[in-house]
């Protein structure tokens, strides 16, 4: 279960970083920080819970065919996702181009930040954990970090945004090597 918690923390860092950027950007005329925090928490939490489950179903479906290679595939996927998060930590965030934070924008951001979680969901059958509990934990952790990220961004600006993505990437890379040792 500790592995699932680490996975949840790492996967939520993308949404946390975007939430920080959104919180730094939101104006009080547009919407209240509480409303934006709830919106970010729900959108990011739901999609971060749903996408790993889709990945789990795909991974579980093909596990019988590739069982002996599954740890190597999980290693490559998590390594790639972690490296991508580290790369994105040094890139400009998409939040800079957003003029107004609408439901359509939130849906787009939720999908964009959770695609990596779908690939990470492929590794869930290897963790020997109930996928419903794992995905729910990922969703709840992401909700909490996204909710808090809006307020952190509102108070501190975007300086913490890239560090969150960097941390998530490093944790995923470390977790990827665990699959080689199993």
Specify the range with the lowest mean pLDDT, choosing from 37-41, 82-86, 161-165, 172-176: 161-165
**What separation in angstroms does the CA of 26 have from each of 37, 40, 174, 177?**
10, 12, 34, 39
Greater model confidence, 154 or 172: 154
- Whether 123 has a pLDDT exceeding 80, the answer reads no
| pLDDT at 96 (0 to 100) | 54
Q: Which residue has the tokens 């729900």?
A: 42
Region 6-17 average pLDDT? 87
- Whether 62 has a pLDDT exceeding 60, the answer reads yes
| pLDDT at 182 (0 to 100) | 60
Region 32-59 average pLDDT? 91
- The pTM of this model reads 0.77
**What separation in angstroms does the CA of 64 have from each of 15, 59, 81?**
33, 9, 24
Contact of 36 with 26, CB cutoff 8 Å: yes
Q: How many percent of the chain have pLDDT more than 70?
A: 84
Distance, first Cα to last Cα, the chain: 16
Question: Looking at residue 49, what DSSP letter applies?
Answer: H
């Amino acid at each position: 279960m500790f592995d699932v918690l680490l996975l949840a923390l790492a996967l939520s860092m993308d949404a946390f970083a975007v939430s920080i950027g959104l919180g730094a950007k939101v104006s009080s005329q547009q919407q209240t920080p509480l409303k934006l925090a709830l919106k970010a928490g729900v959108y990011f939490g739901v999609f971060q819970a749903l996408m790993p489950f889709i990945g789990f179903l795909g991974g579980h479906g093909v596990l019988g065919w590739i069982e002996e290679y599954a740890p190597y595939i999980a290693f490559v996927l998590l390594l790639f996702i972690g490296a991508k998060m580290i790369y994105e930590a040094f890139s400009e965030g998409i939040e800079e181009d957003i003029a107004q934070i609408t439901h359509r924008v939130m849906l787009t951001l939720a999908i964009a930040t959770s695609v990596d979680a779908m690939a990470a969901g492929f590794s869930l059958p290897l963790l020997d954990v109930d996928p419903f509990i794992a995905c729910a934990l990922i969703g709840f952790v992401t909700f909490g970090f996204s909710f808090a990220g809006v307020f952190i961004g509102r108070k501190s600006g975007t300086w913490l945004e890239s560090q969150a993505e960097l941390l998530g990437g490093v944790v995923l890379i470390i977790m990827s090597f665990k699959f080689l040792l199993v």
